[in-house]
Amino acid sequence: MNLWLRQSVHLLFTSRVRASIQRINNYPQKLSTGYRKEVAMMQHTDLTSTYVNEFDRHDNLSSQNASSVQLAPLKRIARGLLLGFGLSLCFMQPAGSTNLNDISMTPKQYAYYSLGDVKQYKCLATLYGKESAWNPKAYNKSSGTVGIPQGKSVWLLTATPIQQVEWGLRYIKHKHGTPCKALNHWKQFNWH
Protein backbone atom coordinates (compact mmCIF):
# COMPACT_ATOMS: atom_id res chain seq x y z
CA MET A 1 0.00 0.00 0.00
CA ASN A 2 2.83 2.37 0.90
CA LEU A 3 4.59 1.70 -2.41
CA TRP A 4 1.34 2.32 -4.30
CA LEU A 5 0.90 5.65 -2.48
CA ARG A 6 4.46 6.73 -3.28
CA GLN A 7 4.03 5.82 -6.94
CA SER A 8 0.76 7.77 -7.11
CA VAL A 9 2.35 10.81 -5.51
CA HIS A 10 5.32 10.52 -7.86
CA LEU A 11 3.03 10.32 -10.91
CA LEU A 12 0.96 13.29 -9.74
CA PHE A 13 4.08 15.29 -8.96
CA THR A 14 5.70 14.46 -12.32
CA SER A 15 2.64 15.62 -14.27
CA ARG A 16 2.46 18.85 -12.26
CA VAL A 17 6.17 19.52 -12.72
CA ARG A 18 5.87 19.02 -16.47
CA ALA A 19 2.91 21.42 -16.62
CA SER A 20 4.77 24.00 -14.52
CA ILE A 21 7.90 23.75 -16.65
CA GLN A 22 5.81 24.11 -19.80
CA ARG A 23 4.19 27.26 -18.37
CA ILE A 24 7.62 28.62 -17.42
CA ASN A 25 8.99 27.88 -20.89
CA ASN A 26 6.05 29.67 -22.52
CA TYR A 27 6.36 32.70 -20.28
CA PRO A 28 9.26 34.46 -22.11
CA GLN A 29 7.44 34.39 -25.46
CA LYS A 30 4.40 36.03 -23.91
CA LEU A 31 6.54 38.56 -22.10
CA SER A 32 8.76 39.32 -25.05
CA THR A 33 5.69 39.90 -27.27
CA GLY A 34 4.31 42.30 -24.69
CA TYR A 35 7.72 43.87 -24.33
CA ARG A 36 7.95 44.46 -28.07
CA LYS A 37 4.53 46.14 -28.08
CA GLU A 38 5.60 48.35 -25.20
CA VAL A 39 8.81 49.39 -27.00
CA ALA A 40 6.82 50.09 -30.17
CA MET A 41 4.44 52.33 -28.21
CA MET A 42 7.36 54.12 -26.57
CA GLN A 43 8.96 54.85 -29.94
CA HIS A 44 5.88 56.83 -30.99
CA THR A 45 6.31 59.40 -28.24
CA ASP A 46 8.85 62.18 -28.56
CA LEU A 47 10.29 61.96 -25.06
CA THR A 48 10.88 58.21 -24.90
CA SER A 49 11.91 57.67 -28.49
CA THR A 50 15.09 59.64 -27.82
CA TYR A 51 16.08 57.26 -25.03
CA VAL A 52 15.12 54.13 -26.97
CA ASN A 53 17.04 55.24 -30.04
CA GLU A 54 20.03 56.16 -27.87
CA PHE A 55 20.03 52.66 -26.36
CA ASP A 56 19.67 51.09 -29.79
CA ARG A 57 22.64 53.05 -31.07
CA HIS A 58 24.84 51.47 -28.40
CA ASP A 59 23.44 48.02 -29.16
CA ASN A 60 21.95 47.58 -25.70
CA LEU A 61 18.26 47.23 -26.35
CA SER A 62 18.19 45.38 -29.64
CA SER A 63 20.84 42.75 -28.83
CA GLN A 64 19.31 41.64 -25.53
CA ASN A 65 15.84 40.58 -24.69
CA ALA A 66 15.35 41.77 -21.11
CA SER A 67 12.73 39.15 -20.36
CA SER A 68 14.91 36.17 -21.30
CA VAL A 69 17.93 37.56 -19.46
CA GLN A 70 15.94 37.79 -16.23
CA LEU A 71 13.93 34.61 -16.58
CA ALA A 72 16.73 32.12 -17.28
CA PRO A 73 17.96 32.06 -13.65
CA LEU A 74 14.36 31.99 -12.43
CA LYS A 75 13.65 28.93 -14.57
CA ARG A 76 16.63 27.10 -13.09
CA ILE A 77 15.58 28.03 -9.55
CA ALA A 78 11.97 26.99 -10.18
CA ARG A 79 13.02 23.69 -11.70
CA GLY A 80 15.39 23.03 -8.80
CA LEU A 81 12.69 23.80 -6.24
CA LEU A 82 10.15 21.63 -8.00
CA LEU A 83 12.62 18.79 -8.30
CA GLY A 84 13.60 19.07 -4.63
CA PHE A 85 9.99 19.16 -3.52
CA GLY A 86 9.13 16.17 -5.70
CA LEU A 87 12.04 14.14 -4.39
CA SER A 88 11.10 14.95 -0.81
CA LEU A 89 7.56 13.69 -1.47
CA CYS A 90 8.79 10.49 -3.09
CA PHE A 91 11.31 9.63 -0.37
CA MET A 92 9.38 10.68 2.73
CA GLN A 93 9.87 8.60 5.84
CA PRO A 94 6.82 6.98 7.38
CA ALA A 95 5.05 9.23 9.88
CA GLY A 96 5.57 6.86 12.77
CA SER A 97 5.58 3.30 13.83
CA THR A 98 2.85 1.57 15.76
CA ASN A 99 5.29 -1.14 16.82
CA LEU A 100 6.17 -0.67 20.50
CA ASN A 101 9.64 -2.13 19.81
CA ASP A 102 10.46 0.85 17.55
CA ILE A 103 9.79 3.52 20.17
CA SER A 104 12.95 5.22 21.40
CA MET A 105 11.70 6.63 24.72
CA THR A 106 12.35 5.70 28.29
CA PRO A 107 9.49 3.95 30.06
CA LYS A 108 8.79 7.12 32.07
CA GLN A 109 8.71 9.27 28.93
CA TYR A 110 6.38 6.81 27.26
CA ALA A 111 4.06 6.77 30.26
CA TYR A 112 3.95 10.57 30.34
CA TYR A 113 3.31 10.74 26.59
CA SER A 114 0.59 8.07 26.76
CA LEU A 115 -1.25 9.66 29.66
CA GLY A 116 -0.95 13.28 28.50
CA ASP A 117 -1.88 14.45 32.01
CA VAL A 118 0.72 15.59 34.54
CA LYS A 119 -1.41 14.73 37.58
CA GLN A 120 -2.10 11.18 36.36
CA TYR A 121 1.56 10.74 35.40
CA LYS A 122 2.69 11.76 38.92
CA CYS A 123 0.34 9.19 40.42
CA LEU A 124 1.63 6.51 38.05
CA ALA A 125 5.26 7.47 38.73
CA THR A 126 4.65 7.18 42.48
CA LEU A 127 2.84 3.86 42.08
CA TYR A 128 5.47 2.28 39.83
CA GLY A 129 8.26 3.84 41.90
CA LYS A 130 6.96 2.04 44.99
CA GLU A 131 6.06 -1.20 43.20
CA SER A 132 9.18 -1.79 41.09
CA ALA A 133 11.26 1.42 41.08
CA TRP A 134 10.61 1.38 37.29
CA ASN A 135 12.84 -1.71 37.00
CA PRO A 136 11.67 -3.89 34.07
CA LYS A 137 13.40 -6.92 35.65
CA ALA A 138 11.81 -6.49 39.06
CA TYR A 139 10.46 -9.70 40.58
CA ASN A 140 8.49 -10.13 43.79
CA LYS A 141 8.82 -13.72 45.03
CA SER A 142 6.04 -13.50 47.62
CA SER A 143 3.35 -12.35 45.18
CA GLY A 144 4.81 -13.72 41.94
CA THR A 145 4.57 -10.34 40.19
CA VAL A 146 7.08 -9.12 37.60
CA GLY A 147 8.18 -6.09 35.62
CA ILE A 148 7.54 -2.37 35.98
CA PRO A 149 3.78 -2.73 36.64
CA GLN A 150 4.29 -5.79 38.86
CA GLY A 151 1.75 -7.88 37.00
CA LYS A 152 1.14 -11.60 37.23
CA SER A 153 1.36 -12.13 33.48
CA VAL A 154 4.09 -14.51 32.26
CA TRP A 155 4.27 -12.36 29.12
CA LEU A 156 5.83 -9.51 31.16
CA LEU A 157 8.99 -11.64 31.60
CA THR A 158 9.86 -11.25 27.90
CA ALA A 159 8.26 -7.85 27.23
CA THR A 160 10.28 -4.69 26.65
CA PRO A 161 10.02 -1.89 29.23
CA ILE A 162 7.74 0.10 26.90
CA GLN A 163 5.50 -2.93 26.42
CA GLN A 164 5.38 -3.42 30.19
CA VAL A 165 4.26 0.19 30.70
CA GLU A 166 1.64 -0.21 27.97
CA TRP A 167 0.39 -3.40 29.61
CA GLY A 168 0.26 -1.68 33.01
CA LEU A 169 -1.65 1.32 31.64
CA ARG A 170 -4.24 -0.96 30.03
CA TYR A 171 -4.55 -2.93 33.28
CA ILE A 172 -5.02 0.26 35.34
CA LYS A 173 -7.59 1.62 32.91
CA HIS A 174 -9.53 -1.64 33.01
CA LYS A 175 -9.29 -2.23 36.78
CA HIS A 176 -9.25 1.29 38.30
CA GLY A 177 -9.92 3.82 35.54
CA THR A 178 -7.01 6.17 36.29
CA PRO A 179 -3.52 5.93 37.79
CA CYS A 180 -4.55 8.19 40.71
CA LYS A 181 -7.38 5.80 41.63
CA ALA A 182 -4.92 2.89 41.36
CA LEU A 183 -2.49 4.72 43.66
CA ASN A 184 -5.25 5.34 46.22
CA HIS A 185 -6.13 1.63 46.08
CA TRP A 186 -2.47 0.73 46.57
CA LYS A 187 -2.25 3.04 49.60
CA GLN A 188 -5.26 1.30 51.19
CA PHE A 189 -4.53 -2.33 50.34
CA ASN A 190 -0.82 -2.38 49.37
CA TRP A 191 -1.64 -3.72 45.90
CA HIS A 192 -3.43 -2.34 42.87
192 or 65, higher pLDDT: 192
Q: CB–CB of 2/94 below 8 Å? A: yes
Binned at pLDDT 50, 70 and 90, residue 168 comes out as very high
Orientation angle between helical segments 179-189 and 118-131, nearest 10 degrees? 40
End-to-end CA distance of the chain: 43
pLDDT at 48: 47
The count of structural domains within the chain is 2
- The pTM score is 0.48
For 136, other C-beta atoms within 10 Å of its C-beta total 19
Residue 148 lies in a domain: yes
The residue from 60, 90, 120 where one domain ends is 90
Query: Based on the number of CB atoms within 10 Å of its own CB, is 119 exposed (0-12), middle (13-18) or buried (19 or more)?
Result: exposed
- List the domain range (segments joined by +) for residue 82: 2-90
- Residues 12, 75: one domain? yes
Residue 80 lies in a domain: yes
- Residues 44, 113: one domain? no
Tens digit of each residue's pLDDT (9 = 90 or more) over 79-116:
888 887 777 777 766 655 566 556 678 899 999 999 98
Residue 95 lies in a domain: no
Q: CB–CB of 89/12 below 8 Å? A: no
The residue from 71, 90, 109 where one domain ends is 90
Tens digit of each residue's pLDDT (9 = 90 or more) over 114-167:
998 999 999 999 999 998 999 999 998 888 899 999 998 889 989 999 999 999
Tens digit of each residue's pLDDT (9 = 90 or more) over 28-81:
554 555 555 554 555 444 444 444 455 445 444 445 555 555 677 777 788 888
Average pLDDT, the chain: 75
Q: CB–CB of 34/70 below 8 Å? A: no
Question: How far apart are alpha carbons 21 and 27 in whole angstroms?
Answer: 10
- Residues 75, 119: one domain? no
